[in-house]
Amino acid sequence: MEIRTTGFGHPDAEKLAAEVQQEYVRRYGDIDQTSMHTDHFDPPDGLFVVAYLDDEPVACGGWRVKAADADGLRDGDAELKRMYVVPTARGRGLARAVLRHLETEALTAGRTRLVLETGTEQPEAIALYTSEGYAPITKFGYYKDSPLSVCLGKTLA
């Protein structure tokens, strides 16, 4: 597997992001309504990567800087977004590799904690994050009042 920094506007990133939106439709009945723009993932305030197997895009993910707010986010936080692996490539450790890559890059960029919002209908995502040291935090963002929302965070060392 090769992980490439592509930006969120890259055609492969857009393709995978569209696929993950359809995954949300299947699991929750609608796409993710969280506001996202390509410039949210421009360094130094963000990063978006695509993972390739045999030059085919199979996984993606990114982080974007978050500022302190009333919901418990802190200066130094970065939010994980659009973590996804295509169905045919699942079970090979690609999500874990992308996650660890993003953690390393966020730490290098001066971020002190990664936070994320996922949902109860994504048990495999919750299992991945908790196995990597993510723990529950105060809910934040667009879905903070949703009973299906799960927010997790991890201090970067």
Distance CA 110, CA 27 (A): 34
Secondary structure (3-state) at 62? strand
Residues 16-74 have pLDDT tens digits of 999 999 999 999 999 999 999 999 999 999 999 999 999 999 999 999 999 999 999 99
Residue located via tokens 């299906």:
148
Distance CA 73, CA 83 (A): 20
**Where exactly are the structural domains of the chain?**
2-155
| Mean pLDDT for all residues in the chain | 97
- What pLDDT sits at residue 157? 85
Residue 2 has pLDDT above 90, yes or no: yes
Residue 117 has pLDDT above 90, yes or no: yes
Classify domain 2-155 by CATH architecture.
3-Layer(aba) Sandwich (3.40)
- What pLDDT sits at residue 131? 98
Euclidean distance between the first and the last CA atom of the chain, given in angstroms as a whole number:
25
51 φ, ψ to 5°?
Answer: -100, 140
The HSE-up count of residue 62 (CA atoms within 13 Å, CB side) is 30
Q: What's the average model confidence in pLDDT over 136-151?
A: 96
